[in-house]
Structure 1
Amino acid sequence: MTSKAKPQPAYFPTPSSILNPDLAFYTRASSAPRTPITSFVLPPRSGRAWTVPSGHIVRISTPEGPQVGDLNIWNLSNPRERFWAARTRQLHASHVSVGDRLWSVLPFLRPLVTIVGDSLGDYGVDRWGGRCHDLLGTRCDPYVNMMLSGDGYDFHCHSNLTRAVAPFGLTEFDVHDVINIFQVTGLNEEGKYFMEPSPAKKDDYIEFFAEQPLLMALSTCPGGDLSAWGWGEGGANEEGEKKSMVNCCRPLKVEVFKIADESVLEGWKEFESPAYKGLHGMKVPLGETA
């Protein structure tokens, strides 16, 4: 019996592909001297939004230890252009790290950010098949919580993000699928989604290079480090003992930096959307063969 070859990725990055970023440029950008322009600590079980100029570095870190964060991203001037988790999964992987990009929805389809730093980049694949910085799942929300536990709760990530973007004129309908930073997840042998406790330590971080002017919003997940996750208040630890999720929650720190040496950005420019002008066949509304 001949063994079958492993399937190739559906989207394979050739040397000149937009999926194959210039890592030398991003290494220079991420290591260049920086000037801080924004810094704040986001308390547990809360959310906040902030703006980022293009060509800047955004650093999100764990100042007190492991904590999962749910991140949304929009184009600052046009919030219809927002992060597309599903296409990012297809173009890169189910879990992302340095050199991967977070892409925007159709019809824009261009990088919002490129990941340029990740202290957990060597996490790899654990014994359960889990990986870090999750694009498989999405944000927790009060609707599924009510459906599964019967409990009302106003500080799930969906709600935290909804409150965060309200000062910028956005609503619940603008909140979208997230990247779960510092979160380890995977699919088990039955294809079911699982989550593991966050491996982050004090001052672990992930860094993004802003490819456009951005609005970003972050929730400090009410599940904290996910070591006691459960619908309702608290799950069980490995010994079966009940443990409140409140005790697993910690803050996240957000910093935005300007690259001090502007020469580092010479030759860089914001990406343009693909130049598709086909109008989806609207000139032939009955179909391709009409």
Structure 2
Amino acid sequence: MNAADLALALPLGLLIGLSIGALGGGGSILAVPAFVHLFGQDALTATTGSLVVVGVTALVGAVPHQRAGRVRVVRGLTFGALGSGGAVAGSWLSAGVPDAVLLAGFAALMLVVAGLMTARRRRAARDVAGAARGTTADAGTRSGRHVVLLVATATGVGLLTGFFGVGGGFAVVPALVLALGLPMRVAVGTSLVVIAVNSAVALSARLAGAGDLDWGLLGAFTVAAVGGSLLGSRVVGRVSPARLNLGFTVLLVAVALSMAVRSVLDLLG
């Protein structure tokens, strides 16, 4: 790794960690396009390296959330365990997919994530407005249907983690809120446990066929991301998550469109 790579890795890692620590996910989805388009890696190497960055960052980032009482460890481990099968399956499936197809799918995933984050931001705003009017949700509405949602989401998140090398916090946080009834900030902290478990499982399934990873680059990226996650865990208590969500959503759309254009050109060429 040269000085130019280091100059890129540090701010990008910081941004990714900030999102993971403050929003419980989203930032990891920037790691793959960064590794591919800025550092010239192939899709398999990039998605595998992303798991290293995401897993370590989530694990360290969960510590301050735990100290602040925003982590439910047992529930997070349970969700992660439910998604382990999907993580292994996703890792196996990704190995046989051409780079251009994998990256086109990744661009589509980024746009879906941007839409989910927008919906999450609007739902949070409605919840705040409802609380101001004195209305609350009926806890009795949680039922066996939510258990099915929990299992399905855990498996789906594991599959995405294994296939694309992303943490999946964008899906974990809403699932923890809807299926387990966790408050949003507790869901953000608990999601980091889930991300760490899924990333570790997917990484163990990938390492044998991943080729040579640039550990110097991954180390710099991870150190910066860990610093960002610790900063993000402080930001979540002081800055409106809606503002962070909005800014990051705009960034996701811009990167996704850029990736989509490049992937389509590669497929046509």
Give the TM-score of the pair, scaled to structure 2: 0.25
Which has more helix, going by share of residues? 2
Q: Which structure ranks higher in relative contact order (CA pairs < 8 Å, sequence separation ≥ 6)?
A: 2
Query: Which is greater in Rg?
Result: 1
What TM-score do you get using the length of structure 1 for normalisation? Answer: 0.24
Q: Which has the higher strand share?
A: 1
